[in-house]
Chain A
Amino acid sequence: MAGVVAVAAESLAGGRARAARTVLDQVVLPGEELLLPEQEDAEGPGGTGERPLRLNAGVRARVRVVCGPGLRRCGDRLLVTKCGRLRYKEPGGSGGGGGVYWVDSQQKRYVPVKGDHVIGIVTAKSGDIFKVDVGGSEPASLSYLAFEGATKRNRPNVQVGDLIYGQFVVANKDMEPEMVCIDSCGRANGMGVIGQDGLLFKVTLGLIRKLLAPDCEILQEVGKLYPLEIVFGMNGRIWVKAKTIQQTLILANILEACEHMTADQRKQIFSRLAES
């Protein structure tokens, strides 16, 4: 229990907007406003440091930033809508725009986002589409033609209760989400019906993002332990299959516990399992 006895008083005029740069990697709360950094003045064409003439001399232009999850635009400021750590990513390469700001929050409930790869469970077959439960507020629809090599004559072999790995092509707040199991070239690319056996379990969205990060050592260590097949869905679902049921269960427990363990505890557990 986090107990606190408040002692000192603050001024009533709290909640002033702070510059986004000063709050990076700190915990931000809903309701806070962040100021965006101002644009650097470009060098004049003469090269001697002349400033270009501005029509509205008093206002300085702001950098264009991308507003990621957990932030909303409000005037020329960013309003924080979720609690978490504020993160920033530099603009890559050709310097278009000012980078991305987002809030790294811990959540269990998934909200469909276009382009996300997710694991869904087929709940119904109605006419030409399958209804797939992806853990969001409504089931996604999946057309039977959205599989590699599927035609009207050659229907894919999908039954109710099957696991599907696909990506969203339509996912916004106003429409029913739609998913497909082919990429833009028409190839499956790993998507489609997930095979027999194995175990599907649910974890938090933050853990999935951590495991899918490019420099994650957990996956490499797990791979050295047993040969396995694993599928990660951005909706918090993981499907695991190893040679025996016992190994599958051990892997599932390790991945679930990863969220709360430190790196040292994890290494201990792995070394103990590798011995036995």
Chain B
Amino acid sequence: MEGVMRTDAKMRTESGAESSPRGPGCSLRHFACEQNLLSRPDGSASFLQGDTSVLAGVYGPAEVKVSKEIFNKATLEVILRPKIGLPGVAEKSRERLIRNTCEAVVLGALHPRTSITVVLQVVSDAGSLLACGLNAACMALVDAGVPMRALFCGVTCALDSEGTLVLDPTAKQEKEARAILTFALDSVERKLLMSTTKGLYSDAELQQCLAAAQAASQHVFRFYRESLQRRYSKS
């Protein structure tokens, strides 16, 4: 699939004048992850993509209020806190997107009448925030030992006015883009779990972005695998 990324002339693989250097052969920014860094939550993870960083904590399966309990599966709650200010409508909508993605993947039927809470704190925002939040949530759920049917990752694409596709855009690229598309993909067959888009784009461009996101997701999943192997090799 390296071929797909190189032969497609519209895709930029060089970072150019970006402040954050990108890895050779892959358009995603440098990423890093740390697990089990908080002592209170059952699982926690911090995910860094370039300069964007999100910290996630997972509590569960824990007690749930009778008004919120579901008789045959776990109640999943996502709370996203911005870096400054009170959470507003944008945070609410991102929480809903992350919750829908997690519900598709977490095996809630194994823990009915419990609650699984994912708390995300934005540490720094330099573009692709939703994708970074999705990755942090996935790593934190794995760290907490919540049963899942697959892993998931988030990838953001930006289309600028000429139609050039940039994966994992920075804040500057996002502002200048004419369309920003974020996809959540699962690890088993790279299927689409969630997509949210903003801006103007054609049908063909959507398919192209989706294909590019699927190719880029392999790098993220390979990073997950290496990161988890490193964690279990210490014990």
Identify the A interface with B (CB < 8 A): 1-12, 14-15, 27, 29-31, 70, 72, 79, 81-85, 105-109, 111, 136-138, 173-174, 206
Given contacts A30-B142, A137-B113, A173-B112, contact A10 B32 (CB under 8 A): no
Are A107 and B111 in touch, CB under 8 angstroms? no
B-to-A contact residues, CB < 8 Å: 1-2, 5, 23-26, 28, 30-34, 36, 42-43, 48, 60-64, 107, 110-115, 142, 144-145, 147-151, 186-190, 214-215, 218-219, 221-233, 235
- Measured between C-beta atoms, what is the minimum distance from A132 to chain B in Å? 14
B30 and A3 form a contact (CB under 8 A): yes
Ordered by A's residue number, 14 sampled pairs between the chains whose C-beta atoms are within 8 Å are A2-B32, A5-B24, A7-B26, A9-B215, A12-B214, A15-B188, A30-B148, A31-B148, A81-B107, A81-B148, A83-B228, A106-B235, A108-B144, A109-B61
- B-chain residues with CB within 8 Å of residue A81 when the two chains form the complex: 107, 147-149
Evaluate whether A3 and B32 lie within 8 angstroms (CB atoms) in the complex, with A108-B43, A109-B42 already known.
yes
| Bound-state Cα–Cα, A84 to B48, Å | 23
B127 to chain A, nearest CB (A): 19
**Contact between A83 and B60, CB atoms less than 8 A apart:** no
Is the beta-carbon distance between A173 and B110 smaller than 8 angstroms? yes
**Contacts of B24 on A, CB cut-off 8 Å?**
5, 7
Q: A6 touching B28 by the CB < 8 A rule?
A: yes
Q: Is there an interface contact between A15 and B28, defined as CB atoms closer than 8 Å? A: no
State the CA gap A27–B36 with chains docked (Å): 17
Q: Of B5, B23, B189, B229, which is within 8 A of A5 by CB? A: B23
A195 to B34, CA, bound (A): 41
User: How distant is A192 from chain B, measured CB to nearest CB, in Å?
Assistant: 26
Q: Which residues of B contact A138 (CB under 8 A)?
A: 63, 113-114
Q: How far is the CB of B59 from chain A (nearest CB, A)?
A: 8
